[in-house]
Amino acid sequence: MTRAWLILCVVGMSGSVAAASIDTALLEQPWPKPWVHEYEVGRYPVRWRQSAGAPQGVLAGVRFEAPLAREAVWGLTTEYTDVGRMVPGVRAIRILQEGPNRKVIQVEVKVLWKELRLSFEIEQDPPRAIRFRLVNAGLGEFRGLVTLEERPAAHPGQSTGTVVELSMWLKTERPIPVKLLLLVERMSLLQGTRRFLEACDAQRR
């Protein structure tokens, strides 16, 4: 099963990507007036945060601890070609370009009555970070950042874990109700997080 839930939390039309390095500085800075809430996802605590402002667009993200070492979490996170098993509505995944730490993938997905084809550019900094973006004149601009930070074992014999944080920024070209957009993002991310953590648990067995 794939674990690449992190790249499919945005809807749009057929997209194109640029070759320049992906700038995620906005996501790495303090967010303006963030709203933070803790959820229980399965047996794991997950922190959700969001922020919305006119010039900044919409910011959303999750943070949780995966019960595996960072190298194992990295392997699960970067299995892009099988994303359909994790995200409802995905019809097909194609890798358009592939290099050591850069990929371009195309995702065919059905959202409500619309069939969409989205192209994402992905930059990898193993095993610490993944940056990705979708640039589309009909949708706007979407960027994301995933960071993996290993948590050392607190006691001898205790397994290590990995703190996973996914942050996203979306600035839409067309008017979309912000509350609706954030609701869809939250539902998608929490559902994807649940499946990701279930996959981590399965690998531990």
Note the pLDDT of residue 86.
Answer: 55
φ, ψ for residue 111, nearest 5 deg: -120, 115
What was the pLDDT predicted at 16?
Answer: 42
Residues 6 or more apart whose CB falls under 8 angstroms from that of 95 comprise: 80, 81, 103, 104, 105, 106
Closest to 196 measured CA to CA, from 27, 74, 38 = 74
Cα(103)–Cα(58) distance, integer angstroms: 25
* Residue 181, domain CATH: 3.30.530.20
Neighbours of 116 (CB within 10 A): 18
Range of the domain at 30: 5-204
CA distance 33 to 31: 6
Q: Taking the chain (205 residues) in consecutive chunks of 10 residues, what is each chunk's mean pLDDT?
A: 43 40 91 94 96 80 95 90 62 86 86 77 95 78 93 76 94 82 88 90 88
pLDDT at 18: 46
Contact 185, 60 (CB under 8 A): yes
CA distance 103 to 200: 24
Domains in the chain: how many in total?
Answer: 1
Q: Which amino acid is at 80?
A: Y
pLDDT for the residue 174: 78
Which pTM was predicted? 0.84
